[in-house]
Structure 1
Amino acid sequence: MTTGRGGGQAGNGPVDAAGGPARHIPVLLEEVLDALAPQPGGSYLDGTFGAGGYTRAILQAADGVRVVALDRDPDAIRDGQSLVQAAEGRLILIEGRFGDLEEHATQAGLVPLDGVVLDIGVSSMQVDQGERGFSFRQDGPLDMRMEQAGRSAADIVNEADEVEIANILYYFGEERRSRAIARAILEARRRAPLRTTGELADLVAGIVRAEPNGPHPATRSFQALRIAVNDELGELVRALHAAERVLKPGGRLVVVTFHSLEDRIVKQFMARRSARTAGVSRHLPGEAVDDATFTLVTRGPVTASENELRANPRARSAKLRAAERTMAPTRAEDEDVMALAALPDAGRSGRPRSKAGRPGSSRGRTRP
């Protein structure tokens, strides 16, 4: 679930990165570069700058490459200024969400782009800082805000009603004990607000049974709250559609995900955009047909090698998917893909979705 975004090592040797040594190991770096295929003089967007690992590598991959990099975390923007200076005008670093990448790339004057890369999720730097509240492994304030502004995880657990909390845990964390956890949260906050990651982790551990050699019982709940706080799935859906609009024909979209909810969205988006509109025959006169806007570069998810897993265990859940933009006109946004990023809204009943592949489907899951 952590991305490990940043600089560090490629293969077995250190990256000679402009801007000085980097602090973290970028996941699937060689595979990302292979899928992105940077070209001399090309323009690229790194939607998740982190510590700049992908951006450094793209800048070094070909002569005259220009990059616009985004990050919603002000700490990442501050720490990336040395790389901006070292890039000597070839890097524009912007504080902003990758869901707004079309606006940012346009303002930077780099549209149409030759490539877009997204490394989804929370960065290693954020997880490793206990005061950011992303991890239960270090006790800290129950925060989880990438932008360090807006509604925090503490606000959700102390102010949301039981149904909303249960839905967040179930749909964004795939937590089967979501209703029991939500009830326990409401009972606990009647006595005193939940303020720290340790308090919430202990509460969840008292309800969810720990599996031998399995993840911490609070893992799914923390993932769910982080996704809800930062609207991560909504940002991903908006970014995928925006990438379709800003990429030139032949431009590459490369996405690295770290859990099944993200990967499901990317997989479905690329599958639907790489096929003609379903249910419409090109042989029927007068019928409009939407041609494929992408062709698949990867036919299945690319995962980390054994060598990378030994060097960076955080890469174990990473999956890379890539597609190349065709000359077809941009399509309307896909409602089915957008629905994968949303909580149920029918009276906020807490009932599971009926669509296959979502929690609560016919695949044996229980309701929240």
Structure 2
Amino acid sequence: MSAHARHVPVLGREAVDFLAPRTGGIYVDATFGAGGYSRAILDIAGTRVIGIDRDRTAILDGFDLVDRAGGRLTLVEDRFSDLADVCAAQGLEAVDGVVMDVGVSSMQLDQAARGFSFRLSGPLDMRMAQSGPTVADVVAKASESDLANIIYIFGEERHSRGVARAIVAARKEAPIATTEALAGIVAKVVRAKPNEIHPATRTFQALRIFVNEELDELHLALSAAERVLKPGGRLVVVSFHSLEDRIVKNFFIARGKASTGSRHRPEVAQSAPSFQILTKRPVTADDAEVAANPRSRSAKLRAAERTDAPVHEADTLPSWPRLADVMRGG
């Protein structure tokens, strides 16, 4: 099947090496995209793959691979946070591996009509699932303080208050409906220097993450993978910015060591590590891959192997802005 590959995922070879698919194994490609990981896994005879993507376009584009896989690939349109439920619906109590490529895909960025990129003129959308509020809805509805928090927390933009103030002022004059319009507003506040990223980069990242609830999704997906992996099963995650990588790193650290009761809660029983960490440091792209695909420059891969210990208690989601609250003015 490798001869049919249309897309080579970032750190694809390394991800599949850490996943270590074997004949007869069942694997979850939790972010199917263009099917790069699934193709590589299906190259191993007798493997089965459950591919998940919330983007209907990715699912529709994957039907050709489904046909060629001869019954070994099942595609499901869903959020990757629901991967445990997806597996249960397929009659699977446990799987041999889960691989995730977190964040927006190159295919989504390259489609102007999806509104992900400030470099392409298009509607201010950015929804991965193509349902629910758009970024245009958020910038029209959110309060100035909510916008500032969203842009600061999810974009790490130090000029977040100025950007939020400029958005609120601009929307009083006319709706902000296009990527070009929003990028222009941001560029008046965030001044670009030579050889630095586009001034709208962090704001677009923040709004995309927020409208798709990407960081909550990642927290939930990691816990779901812990629940469905067999002992010896592997979890491999490729992320593209510091917020995502921090979540993955902290999850593996928390699950890779025993938890104990404190002097305040001595009754808490010790929990054995549920994962053995395979990557002491994140794996990054080599010079050749960066030259071929500049997007790989920021990619970090982390991997761990499931032990036979019970699942740890699920983490509490951080108390950052939430889409439903902002859209109802809460």
The residue that corresponds to 1:190 in the other structure is: 172
Contact 1:114 1:251 in 2 (8 A): yes
Runs of 4+ with >2 A deviation:
278-281, 341-345
CA positional deviation for 1:307: 1.3
The residue that corresponds to 1:30 in the other structure is: 13
Q: Secondary structure at the match of 1:316?
A: helix
Contact 1:154 1:195 in 2 (8 A): yes
The residue that corresponds to 1:7 in the other structure is: none
Are 1:54 and 2:33 counterparts? no
The match for 2:296 among 288, 291, 315 is: 315
The residue that corresponds to 1:351 in the other structure is: none
Q: Secondary structure at the match of 1:225?
A: helix
User: Which whole-Å CA distance do the structure 2 matches of 1:123 and 1:16 have between them?
Assistant: 20
The match for 1:304 among 275, 279, 285 is: 285
The residue that corresponds to 2:66 in the other structure is: 84
Contact 2:240 2:298 in 1 (8 A): yes
The match for 2:231 among 223, 234, 249 is: 249
Contact 1:275 1:292 in 2 (8 A): yes
CA positional deviation for 1:29: 1.0
TM-score, normalised to structure 2's length? Answer: 0.94
RMSD: 1.8
User: Which whole-Å CA distance do the structure 1 matches of 2:108 and 2:29 have between them?
Assistant: 18
Q: Secondary structure at the match of 1:208?
A: coil
Q: Percent of aligned positions with the same letter in both sequences? A: 57
User: Which whole-Å CA distance do the structure 1 matches of 2:5 and 2:21 have between them?
Assistant: 22
CA positional deviation for 1:309: 1.1
Q: Deviations over 1:159-191 (max 9, x none)?
A: 111111111000000011111111111110111
User: Which whole-Å CA distance do the structure 2 matches of 1:344 and 1:72 have between them?
Assistant: 19
The residue that corresponds to 2:27 in the other structure is: 44
How many residues in Structure 1 have an aligned counterpart in Structure 2? 323
The residue that corresponds to 2:269 in the other structure is: 288
Contact 1:280 1:288 in 2 (8 A): no
User: Which whole-Å CA distance do the structure 1 matches of 2:242 and 2:167 have between them?
Assistant: 26
CA positional deviation for 1:123: 0.6
Return the letter of the residue paired with 2:58.
A
Are 1:97 and 2:83 counterparts? no
Return the letter of the residue paired with 1:144.
M
Query: 5 Å matches for 1:325-340?
Result: 325-335=306-316, 338-339=317-318
Q: Deviations over 1:235-255 (max 9, x none)?
A: 000000000000000000000
User: Which whole-Å CA distance do the structure 1 matches of 2:73 and 2:262 have between them?
Assistant: 44
Name the one with the larger helix percent.
2
Contact 1:141 1:197 in 2 (8 A): yes
User: Which whole-Å CA distance do the structure 1 matches of 2:140 and 2:64 have between them?
Assistant: 40
TM-score, normalised to structure 1's length? Answer: 0.85
CA positional deviation for 1:287: 5.8
The residue that corresponds to 1:343 in the other structure is: 321
The residue that corresponds to 1:218 in the other structure is: 200
Q: Deviations over 1:253-278 (max 9, x none)?
A: 00000000000000000001001114
Are 1:68 and 2:54 counterparts? no
CA positional deviation for 1:288: 1.4
Query: 5 Å matches for 1:133-172?
Result: 133-172=115-154
Return the letter of the residue paired with 1:114.
D
Contact 1:25 1:312 in 2 (8 A): no
Return the letter of the residue paired with 2:16.
L
Contact 2:9 2:37 in 1 (8 A): yes
In structure 2, list runs of 5 or more residues that go unmatched. none
The residue that corresponds to 2:249 in the other structure is: 267
CA positional deviation for 1:222: 0.2
The residue that corresponds to 2:187 in the other structure is: 205
Contact 2:28 2:99 in 1 (8 A): yes
User: Which whole-Å CA distance do the structure 1 matches of 2:15 and 2:127 have between them?
Assistant: 27
User: Which whole-Å CA distance do the structure 1 matches of 2:255 and 2:268 have between them?
Assistant: 19
